[in-house]
Amino acid sequence: MLTKEQCFEQLLLGKAVKADGWLESIRVEALESAKALNFPSERHDDWRFTDLSPLFQHGFQPVTSFVRLTLADIENYLIPGSTRLVFVDGCFDAGLSDLAQAGAGVTVKSLVECFGDPQVEAQFARNLSFKQDAFAALNTHFFEDGAFVHVSSENVTGEAVAPIHVLHVATKRETPSAIYHRCLVVMESNSRATVVEDYAGLNGGIYFSNAVTEVVLKDHAQLQHVRVQREEKSAFHIGHCSVKSGRGSVYAATSLAFGARVSRHTQHVMQLGEGAEIRLNGLALIAGRQIADTHTRIDHAVPGGKSVQLHKCIADGAAHAVFSGKVIVHPGAKGTDSAQSSRNLLLSGKARIDTQPQLEIFNDDVSCKHGATVGQIDADALFFLKSRGLSEERARNLLTHAFAGEIIARIPVPSLVESLSRAILEERMKENA
Amino acid sequence: MINKGGKVLLEVKNLKAEVDGVEILKGVDLTVRAGEVHAIMGVNGSGKSTFSKVLAGHPDYTVTGGTATFEGKELFSLAAEERARAGLFLAFQYPVEIPGVSNSALLRLAYNTLQNERGLEELDPLEFEDLVHEKIKVVEMDPSFLDRSVNEGFSGGEKKRNEILQMAILEPKLAILDETDSGLDIDALRIVANGVNSLLTADNAVVMVTHYQRLLNYIVPDYVHVMDAGRIVRTGGKELALELEARGYDWVRAAA
């Protein structure tokens, strides 16, 4: 068992791919940031609810060999009709990917192929506060590859475009592995797309997924951004997503956390253009000894912004869910309209949920509301279902599933809604078996 | 029909029950045979709704005395779901809304649970759709209600019709209708009553719990029981209901 310091030292032993020019200077800077920041302490305000000690016990090794998978191995995760980029332990697998569906004006590629692209140079790691977060800094230094999605203004047809599925799978290794995921999405003016980021593990195993995603929405662009975290229950997942939204743009995200022993998702959306709309839907559904932490922050920096957030946590067993959602209305952001709701379901006496909706308003002339509820399974609904012959377990599962379903149903990809719904119900059955 | 030689479905003897330490039922006796229709009437607070919930196994109520058998089985040794699977059905006075659970999914889940219990084949979604579209006619409900969440946004009448649809699908041996007539306009009342009547056979039975005589014009009872202060204080035929309608409850309570 390692100490926190040893765990950090071990991560620094990873090998960064040598890069040229602008990227190399970013990498060097990121390493300096990582060393200066180190892992957050328990007293760090952003981390005080989240016990990272299970993560620190392991020495995560860099991935040095490539595991060859077949489509059959990832069959359960495929989204029919999507444009697909597949990464195995952080390495791009062209054979498993399917780029045939990408429409006109849509670029979907592995990042390493695109470092010469001025778009990438202009946006990569510009958008991200890796100087404030050790995990994002480690990622920026050590990532090997990632996804680049660019949707040009040619693509204004919207719904007809196939969803872009970025699938990350982790394989089981002899020793715990450190895996870095990276994704850059650039939406040009008036473009529309749906991007699904999917993090999954195969066959168990202990690994540390460190994921960083950057999204840029130019004026009037619309992005449906889905994030599914279904890592192995023995794994660790720390993800960052940073979004810049331009004038009149619409950013609608649905982020789901089901897996990992300890997971954290930090999402930061900056409204930089007037009249931008931001919708954040979130769900953490955990059991056993899982810890799932979601930290979101929405900055309304300019007038006319709108944000709507609904986050749900469901904790069973001795699980611990954390939600911290900050909405900041800056001076000058007149006419901001913001609503935030945190709804939580405790399924066991040993489970715990911490929720912190926070509003910081430096402005009059705004409409902002927020609220939080924590409850248990509704006793009347439970009795009703039992009176129709359903067992206690079945009835509880059905009600839990229904509570989660409100968020899952917001995913704009029907086949994914269906497969996730089914997977959850089966998983719940297993938990109770 | 009065069925003196019929099979006894429910036999309740000297039933006592309390909620939050307050005794509500103070010794209820009732025998229901296959083929019979019973009405339990009484003023608010007489214990009639408590009686129906105790029979269905509501967790808020504690049985403190007496016995109840359902087809010879000890009713109170069965969990609520086991009572349902044995063929006992409660139509709720206030049907609960369950956002996120579709009506058709719930009906199929409940139906297949009972099929399993009876050792019969489960139906797949397509087969079940045929069945449910047949049964939904019983309550003259629009099939679009099947795709909606259970009772969510339903009017009072639609909720009650949905209860009877569940009864039609589950085909219970004994259905207890708890104030199914409350909140219904005359058209909805007629539809619900027609639905119940069409489900009555010589092998099943219905116990209606109601405040008013109105429902009994449509579903004609063989027996009318008056409950007061936690006991059945008078039993008669359907004419007793008319008498209560004309004279109120005070004379029965005074005589008890």
CA–CA gap between residue A28 and residue A427 (Å, rounded):
43
Mean pLDDT of chain A: 93
Does residue B114 come out as left (phi exceeding 0), alpha (psi in the -120 to 50 range) or beta?
alpha
Tokens linked to A433: 């078996």
**Beta bridge pairs of residue B50:** none
Sign (positive/negative) of CA torsion A133, A134, A138, A141? positive
Angle in degrees, CA A257, A258, A260, rounded to 5: 95
B109 vs A contacts (CB less than 8 Å): 390, 394, 398
Q: Between helices B156-170 and B103-117, what is the axis angle to 10°?
A: 30
Interface test with A, best of B82, B83, B98 (most A CBs within 10 A): B98
Cβ count near A407 (within 10 Å): 22
Across the interface, of B56, B99, B109, the residue whose CB is closest to A387 is B56
Tokens linked to A277: 């709309």
Kindly tell me the burial class for residue B160, based on how many C-beta atoms sit within 10 Å of its own C-beta (0-12, 13-18, 19 or more): buried
Contact state of B109 with A390 under an 8 Å Cβ cutoff: yes
Q: Which residue of A has its CA nearest to B100?
A: A402
CA–CA gap between residue B2 and residue B145 (Å, rounded):
36
Q: What per-residue confidence (pLDDT) applies to B211?
A: 87
Only one residue has tokens 């909706």, namely A357
Q: What per-residue confidence (pLDDT) applies to A43?
A: 84
Number of domains in chain B: 1
Contact state of B90 with A399 under an 8 Å Cβ cutoff: no
Contact state of A389 with B84 under an 8 Å Cβ cutoff: yes
Interface test with B, best of A312, A384, A425 (most B CBs within 10 A): A384
Q: Quick one: pLDDT band at residue A15, thresholds 50, 70, 90?
A: confident
User: In angstroms, how far is CA B131 from the centroid of its own chain?
Assistant: 22
B117 vs A contacts (CB less than 8 Å): 389
Residue A384 at interface with chain B, using a CB cutoff of 8 Å: yes
Contact state of B84 with A399 under an 8 Å Cβ cutoff: no
Kindly tell me the burial class for residue B229, based on how many C-beta atoms sit within 10 Å of its own C-beta (0-12, 13-18, 19 or more): middle
**Residues A393-398, mean pLDDT to the nearest whole number:** 92
Q: Quick one: pLDDT band at residue A157, thresholds 50, 70, 90?
A: low
Q: What per-residue confidence (pLDDT) applies to A156?
A: 61
**In percent, how much of chain A has pLDDT > 70?**
97
**Is residue B161 within 8 Å of residue B141, measured between CB atoms?**
yes
CA–CA gap between residue A313 and residue A329 (Å, rounded):
25
Please say if the pLDDT value at position A421 is more than 70: yes
Contact state of A384 with B95 under an 8 Å Cβ cutoff: yes
Q: What per-residue confidence (pLDDT) applies to A41?
A: 87
Q: Between helices B103-117 and B125-135, what is the axis angle to 10°?
A: 100
Q: Which residue of A has its CA nearest to B85?
A: A389
Contact state of B98 with A401 under an 8 Å Cβ cutoff: no
Contact state of B79 with A402 under an 8 Å Cβ cutoff: no
Residue A260 at interface with chain B, using a CB cutoff of 8 Å: no
Q: What per-residue confidence (pLDDT) applies to A21?
A: 87
B100 vs A contacts (CB less than 8 Å): 401-403, 405-406
What residue spans of A109-218 are helical by DSSP H?
118-123, 134-142
Looking at the complex, report in whole angstroms how far the Cα of residue A418 sits from the nearest Cα belonging to chain B: 14
Q: What is the dihedral of CA B134, B139, B142, B148, to 10 degrees?
A: -100
Q: Does B132 fall in a domain?
A: no
Which residues, other chains included, contact B102 with Cβ-Cβ below 8 Å and sequence gap of 6+?
Answer: B146, B147, B148, B149, B150
Q: Does B156 fall in a domain?
A: no
Which residues, other chains included, contact A134 with Cβ-Cβ below 8 Å and sequence gap of 6+?
Answer: A33, A34, A37, A38, A39, A40
Q: Which residue has the higher pLDDT, A267 or B211?
A: A267
Kindly tell me the burial class for residue B58, based on how many C-beta atoms sit within 10 Å of its own C-beta (0-12, 13-18, 19 or more): buried
Please say if the pLDDT value at position A159 is more than 80: no
Quickly list DSSP for B159-222: HHHHHHHHHHHH--SEEEEESTTTT--HHHHHHHHHHHHHH--TT-EEEEEES-SGGGGTS--S
**Residues A218-223, mean pLDDT to the nearest whole number:** 97
Q: What per-residue confidence (pLDDT) applies to B26?
A: 97
Q: Does B51 fall in a domain?
A: yes
Q: What per-residue confidence (pLDDT) applies to A160?
A: 57
Q: Sketch the domain layout of chain A as residue ranges.
A: 4-273, 377-433
Residue type, B139: V
Provide the b/e sequence for A79-118 (b: ≥16 CB within 10 Å). Answer: beebbbbbbbbbebbeebbbeebbeebbbbbbbbebeebe
User: CA distances (Å), B146 to each of A401, B136, B150, in order?
Assistant: 18, 9, 8
Q: What per-residue confidence (pLDDT) applies to B221?
A: 96
Only one residue has tokens 């719930």, namely B106
Interface test with A, best of B109, B120, B176 (most A CBs within 10 A): B109
Contact state of A398 with B92 under an 8 Å Cβ cutoff: no
**Residues A387-405, mean pLDDT to the nearest whole number:** 93
Quickly list DSSP for A96-119: T-B-TT--TTEEEEEGGGGTT-HH
Which residues, other chains included, contact B14 with Cβ-Cβ below 8 Å and sequence gap of 6+?
Answer: B27, B28, B29, B65, B66, B67
Any idea which of A167-176, A222-231, B246-255 has the lowest mean pLDDT? Answer: B246-255
Tokens linked to B254: 């005074």
Phi, psi angles (nearest 5°) of residue B32: -120, 125
Looking at the complex, report in whole angstroms how far the Cα of residue B148 sits from the nearest Cα belonging to chain A: 13
Q: Does B75 fall in a domain?
A: yes
Across the interface, of B56, B100, B110, the residue whose CB is closest to A390 is B110
Residue A410 at interface with chain B, using a CB cutoff of 8 Å: no
H/E run at residue A326: strand A320-329
Q: What per-residue confidence (pLDDT) applies to A155?
A: 63
Q: What per-residue confidence (pLDDT) applies to A431?
A: 66
* Structural domain for B36, as ranges: 8-96+173-255
**Is residue A193 within 8 Å of residue A187, measured between CB atoms?**
yes
B79 vs A contacts (CB less than 8 Å): 386, 392
Q: What per-residue confidence (pLDDT) applies to A128?
A: 63
ipTM confidence score: 0.96
Sign (positive/negative) of CA torsion A60, A63, A68, A74? positive
CA–CA gap between residue B236 and residue B249 (Å, rounded):
14
User: CA distances (Å), B41 to each of A229, A240, B4, B23, B240, in order?
Assistant: 56, 64, 22, 19, 10
pLDDT tens for each residue of chain B, 256 residues long: 777 788 999 999 999 999 999 999 999 999 999 999 999 999 989 999 999 999 999 999 999 999 999 999 999 999 999 999 999 999 999 999 999 899 999 999 999 999 999 999 999 999 999 999 999 999 999 999 999 999 999 999 999 999 999 999 999 999 999 999 988 999 999 999 999 999 999 999 999 999 888 899 999 999 999 999 999 999 999 999 999 989 989 888 888 7
- Least Cα distance to B161 among B186, B129, B196, B134 occurs for B196
Q: Quick one: pLDDT band at residue A433, thresholds 50, 70, 90?
A: low
**Is residue A304 within 8 Å of residue A336, measured between CB atoms?**
yes
